[in-house]
Structure 1
Amino acid sequence: MPDLSRDGVGRRIAYYRSVVRPKMTQQRLADAACVSLGAIRKIERGERGVTDATLEAIAGALAVDPGRLRADRGRAQSTVLAGLPALSAAIAAYDVPDDGPVRRLAELRTAVSGAERWRLAAQYTRVVRDVPGLLTELARAYHRAEGDERRRLAGLLVSAYRSADSVAFKFGALDLSARLVELMRWSVPEAEDPLLAATVAYVRTETFLAAHAYASGLRALEDALAVAPSSGGPPESAMRGALHMRAAVVAGRAGDASTARSHLTQARLLAGQVAEGVYHGTAFGSDSVRVHEVSVAVSLGAEHVGSALDLARDWSPPAELPAERRSGYYIELARAQLWSGLAEHAFESMKIARRIAPQHTREHPWVREDAATLRRLKRADSESLTSFAEWCAAT
């Protein structure tokens, strides 16, 4: 058990409770975290250790990432990497799951929705802790079910695989990520849901991005758009819009400005038909399109960063957008600012990204590259920058 008088976990808990959440008394924190008042008092004074489960409960009550309370900033990364073998084992037995209990369909749907929320919030430690067992249970249920229930379970498998894939991809386990994408593609025909099929096409793009196979990725997205429902309500419009956003980014990475602008135009038109929200696990709306406009400008290269800065002027993504998307916006804005010689602004944007989604920010390769560049240039406060660079393992 750590000595919290040295590592400061208790002090950080007290800070978030009394300064960031000034109306939260120790009693309210204890009630919200389901921890005794005496335990909270001792933890804050550094007189008592705290288990991972208790720390996550306290972090949840404070609405902060557990990593913000830990002294060891590498803990989240270690937890995720340690959990990847269990994830790999769960999908290895996708067609021959072991025997065991299976919850009712409604309970499984709730569990899958919870994993999706953690994914969108960039809470990867929660995903890697909960999803392996969930995947195994879903596989059991799927192979036992028939008819309509089997179809619904196939849809839940797609969503759960997507949550698992987010962790694998973000933490560099690209082979595991590719395998999860293939399992999504295996599950989706059984679900008989064209919008879910479009979702899988959206996610599959990351394998093309990782391989720098932009032409193939763009072709796959355009094929998906050709068969995606073109009429219906907001979910149909949102899914087509999301595919156009994704295609714009891929075209931007390929240096094809004309195609990128064309897809962004289509995405903006569709965003005008729906409210900002999460549709089939993907955020879409006018704010999401604006985030992608910045992303495309950065993807197109240094000569387009002026457009990114113009788009970002007097605007910031609203808090209602998923944390992963908001942090990604600031990561890409930081790159545009760095290329424009605005080093201090770039560092500030990276710090904002860290406050929004520390796990996502820490693992993003651009953050490491740009923090290392700033450190070499010595263009920001050296002590703060050194601490940040060490936190994200910039070299």
Structure 2
Amino acid sequence: MSDDNPREIGERIAAHRRARRLTQTALAVAAHVSYATVRSVERGARRPSDDVLEAIAGALGVDAAHLRTDYAGTERRVHQALPALSEAIVAYDLPMGPPTRPPRQLADEIATTTGWRLSAQYGRIANTIPNLLADAIRHVHTAPGADHHAAARMLASAARTADALAYKHGAHDLSARLIDLMRWAADRAADRLVQATSSYVRAETFLAVRAHAAGLVSLDRAVDAAPRPTGLREAATLGALHMRAAVMAGRAGNVDAADIHLSHARRLGDQVAREGAYLGTVFGPGSVRVHEVSVAVSLGPGHVDRALRAAHAWKPPIDLPAERSSGFYIELARAQEWAGRRTDAFASLKAARAVAPQHTREHPWAREVAKNLRRFHRSDAESLSHFARWVGAA
């Protein structure tokens, strides 16, 4: 039986509806569909069309891929948004008039898209980010002097969300241009924490081309330039840089550097104590644990025992954002597949999809592990074949 049969789709919709404390009637009103449609969909008597699914997902505040895992509309919307993003940033250094939104609305909408980024709701981001980014650029050029730094911080945040859309979907050239915009905005914000965050995001450009040694140099410089960890935001920002530097060192095969950066990240995670989003970057003890697994996997199959020890008897806490939790399960699946624990690897891939389906579907390691499992693993063959087709590994 497929993971996307009508009954299971209906159960997911009902679960999200109850979590939002909505009745079926209220959901129907919010989604602009009939009560009979909502009732029949939740009972599994009807498979929702793409239009109905998107309407219900919008009313529930989730990406449609969380309700139907084989939903392809998100990819379509993302790829339609990429040219619009290119157009929005082509003249970012030129004043092109005032924004269409007032500053307060602009700030609120940018904050909302940051939440969507952390929960891997790329379809929702794609619907709004091109125009939102264009307005953020216009605001930087037109904000009064007293508001200029705040406007630049808003632009850096919007550019980061746009970059997530581009980077996760393989548009690495556009991602690099968006990161350049983020760094441009960070310099104008005159805020060392925003500048440190832009260095954290810049590491993607090194990861994309596997320039790991150069990426480690860049992150080491960012660590040296970051503010000292005198408060929570400073500690979290510096800790995130150490986490990313540890992964970069792992990819470069530099075990000593990876261990040093992980040690600093653990200490700062203990200082922060609670998981949270700081300037749009999640940091805390749970994030450090995820990166311990990531570093071990980055070091390669020879360190699989280290990865499995780091993940042993641990699950991402509920306050960890969906994208990071999904990433943990994908990294763990890779280690389990290396160790010959193929049943466990498939279970981890399914856990990743349950947490953040779109992130999992776009992750190259999820495709790689699924492809290998399909080649060698024979139990649960129908479910595995369905997953492989879904992730693009068939």
- Provide TM-score, normalisation by structure 1: 0.91
Partner secondary structure for residue 278 of structure 1: strand
User: Does the C-alpha gap of structure 1 residues 117 and 20 become closer, same or farther in structure 2, counting only changes over 3 Å?
Assistant: closer
Unpaired runs of 5+ in structure 2?
none
Identical-residue share of aligned pairs (%): 52
Q: What is residue 206 of structure 1 aligned with on the other side?
A: 204
Q: CA deviation at 1:48?
A: 10
User: Does the C-alpha gap of structure 1 residues 28 and 391 become closer, same or farther in structure 2, counting only changes over 3 Å?
Assistant: same
In the alignment, the residues of structure 2 paired with residue 63 and residue 51 of structure 1 have an alpha-carbon distance, to the nearest angstrom, of: 16
Contact 2:160–2:179 (Cα < 8 Å) also in 1: yes
In the alignment, the residues of structure 2 paired with residue 170 and residue 71 of structure 1 have an alpha-carbon distance, to the nearest angstrom, of: 17
Partner secondary structure for residue 347 of structure 1: helix
In the alignment, the residues of structure 2 paired with residue 363 and residue 289 of structure 1 have an alpha-carbon distance, to the nearest angstrom, of: 23
In the alignment, the residues of structure 2 paired with residue 49 and residue 98 of structure 1 have an alpha-carbon distance, to the nearest angstrom, of: 43
In the alignment, the residues of structure 2 paired with residue 47 and residue 266 of structure 1 have an alpha-carbon distance, to the nearest angstrom, of: 53
Q: CA RMSD in A?
A: 2.4
Q: CA deviation at 1:186?
A: 1.1
Q: Spell out, residue by residue over 1:163-204, the C-alpha distance to the aligned partner (whole angstroms, 9 max, x if none).
A: 000110111001000101111111111101100000000000
One-letter code of the match for 2:57?
A: A
Q: CA deviation at 1:67?
A: 1.8
Q: Spell out, residue by residue over 1:26-79, the C-alpha distance to the aligned partner (whole angstroms, 9 max, x if none).
A: 224335646553553466687897564x53342255565402444853332222
Q: Spell out, residue by residue over 1:301-326, the C-alpha distance to the aligned partner (whole angstroms, 9 max, x if none).
A: 11211111112111101121010000
One-letter code of the match for 1:87?
A: L
Q: What is residue 319 of structure 2 aligned with on the other side?
A: 320
Task: Confirm whether residue 107 of structure 1 aligns to residue 112 of structure 2.
Answer: no
In the alignment, the residues of structure 1 paired with residue 50 and residue 382 of structure 2 have an alpha-carbon distance, to the nearest angstrom, of: 31
| 1:39-54 correspondence to structure 2 within 5 Å | 39-41=37-39, 52=51
| 1:79-228 correspondence to structure 2 within 5 Å | 79-96=77-94, 98-99=96-97, 101-228=99-226
Contact 1:331–1:350 (Cα < 8 Å) also in 2: yes
In the alignment, the residues of structure 1 paired with residue 341 and residue 217 of structure 2 have an alpha-carbon distance, to the nearest angstrom, of: 36
Q: What is residue 4 of structure 1 aligned with on the other side?
A: none
Q: What is residue 287 of structure 2 aligned with on the other side?
A: 288
Unpaired runs of 5+ in structure 1?
1-7
In the alignment, the residues of structure 2 paired with residue 99 and residue 173 of structure 1 have an alpha-carbon distance, to the nearest angstrom, of: 29
Structure 1 range deviating more: 325-334 or 65-74 = 65-74
Contact 1:194–1:228 (Cα < 8 Å) also in 2: yes
Contact 1:161–1:184 (Cα < 8 Å) also in 2: yes
One-letter code of the match for 2:285?
A: S
In the alignment, the residues of structure 1 paired with residue 60 and residue 151 of structure 2 have an alpha-carbon distance, to the nearest angstrom, of: 34
User: Does the C-alpha gap of structure 1 residues 121 and 68 become closer, same or farther in structure 2, counting only changes over 3 Å?
Assistant: closer
Q: What is residue 276 of structure 2 aligned with on the other side?
A: 277
Q: What is residue 5 of structure 1 aligned with on the other side?
A: none
In the alignment, the residues of structure 2 paired with residue 310 and residue 322 of structure 1 have an alpha-carbon distance, to the nearest angstrom, of: 23
Of the three residues 5, 10, 13, the one matched with 1:14 is: 10
User: Does the C-alpha gap of structure 1 residues 115 and 63 become closer, same or farther in structure 2, counting only changes over 3 Å?
Assistant: closer
- Aligned residue-pair number: 387
In the alignment, the residues of structure 2 paired with residue 139 and residue 20 of structure 1 have an alpha-carbon distance, to the nearest angstrom, of: 35
Partner secondary structure for residue 315 of structure 1: coil
Task: Confirm whether residue 369 of structure 1 aligns to residue 379 of structure 2.
Answer: no
Q: CA deviation at 1:87?
A: 1.2
